[in-house]
Structure 1
Amino acid sequence: MTGSDLARAALEAARASAKERGVRGVRKGTRNPAARRRRRWSGAGPDDRDPQPLGRLASRLASDRGWAERLAAGQVFGRWAKLVGEDVAEHARPVAFEDGELTVQADSTAWATQLRLLQRELLKRIAAGVGDGVVKKLKVQGPAAPNWRFGPRHVPGRGPRDTYG
């Protein structure tokens, strides 16, 4: 059996199936009345088919996919100096954001204490710049201590005692 014979057999089977279901065939001379209707122009008013600004499309995509919280957290990281002020941004930087909690690392213990005292004001500034409910809690960390665990052989303990007395 050749390819054209298989096509004819498939066409006959489809016609027989349609006849059993009661579907009538379309005559060659008639057209679908819906296809004859002329497509209407959108006119001067706004329409869904009109070109959309990229910002509007991006915000719609972010809200549809549930990215709004992540984008707001990204704004906190990107606009940190403007949100909290230049003096605070010189001595502290955001490190992590998870479940509404922003972790900030200060470059000294004195600045970590200062940030803990300014915590409410910083949260108000961030809420004013990014939006309410994005950052709910501020966790302040001091500077990272040096790691004494290096080399192939390591002795357990807290490190040299004479320098930190």
Structure 2
Amino acid sequence: MALAEARAANKVKRDAAKAAQAPRAGGANAQRRRRWSGPGVDNRDPQPLGALAARIASDRGWSDKLSGGTVFGSWAKLVGAEVAEHATPIALKDGELTVQASSTAWATQLKLLQRQLLSQIRAGVGKDVVKRLRVQGPAAPSWRYGPRHVSGRGPRDTYG
């Protein structure tokens, strides 16, 4: 009971002190002068550049694109050195990561390892960045040289 009375009396004193305070020279809307942050942590203190960049990216909605860039930048760390030696990420669009293998054998191996690769990528980058993995084999050479060419099977079609 006494505690409640003491709190009420203190509140009345604070309200009276605020009302009695003289208006400042700049008028009623003048802002208080900023003071030093002191020994405690404050938003006005110098911040690490990475923390500032992360905050700006999240404020502007760039986090998804930066996470996609992380997949390309740290590909070897995400999937391992052996897989990274034989597979290269090509494109990331709408949660589908397209990977090109160095040979057809590695393309088959990547298709078999697809679930494990997806779980490793999700653990390293985030859950919603890569949802599907599309594996391509090596690019075949083009037999179409020059602006004019003859349609057909190319150099294999020599015996009519």
Q: Let me know the Cα RMSD of the aligned residues.
A: 2.2
Residue 136 in structure 1 maps to residue 134 in structure 2? no
C-alpha distance in 2 between matches for 1:38 and 1:79: 46
Q: Whose radius of gyration is greater, 1 or 2?
A: 1
* Runs of 4+ with deviation above 3 angstroms: 33-41
TM-score, L = length of structure 2: 0.75
3-state DSSP class of the match of 2:110? helix
Identical pairs, percent: 72
Which residues in structure 2 correspond to 1:7-156 (within 5 Å)?
Answer: 31-33=25-27, 35=30, 39-156=34-151
Deviates more, 1:43-52 or 1:105-114: 43-52
Shift of 1:56: 1.0
C-alpha distance in 2 between matches for 1:36 and 1:50: 20
Letter matched to residue 92 of structure 1: A
Residue 159 in structure 1 maps to residue 158 in structure 2? no
Paired residues, what number?
134
C-alpha distance in 1 between matches for 2:42 and 2:48: 13
Q: For structure 1, which runs of at least 5 residues remain unmatched after alignment?
A: 1-29
| Shift in alpha-carbon separation, 1:71–1:38, aligned structure 2, 3 A | closer
Deviates more, 1:64-73 or 1:109-118: 64-73
Q: What do the CA deviations read for 1:79-120 (whole angstroms, capped 9, x no partner)?
A: 111111111111111011111110000011111011001000
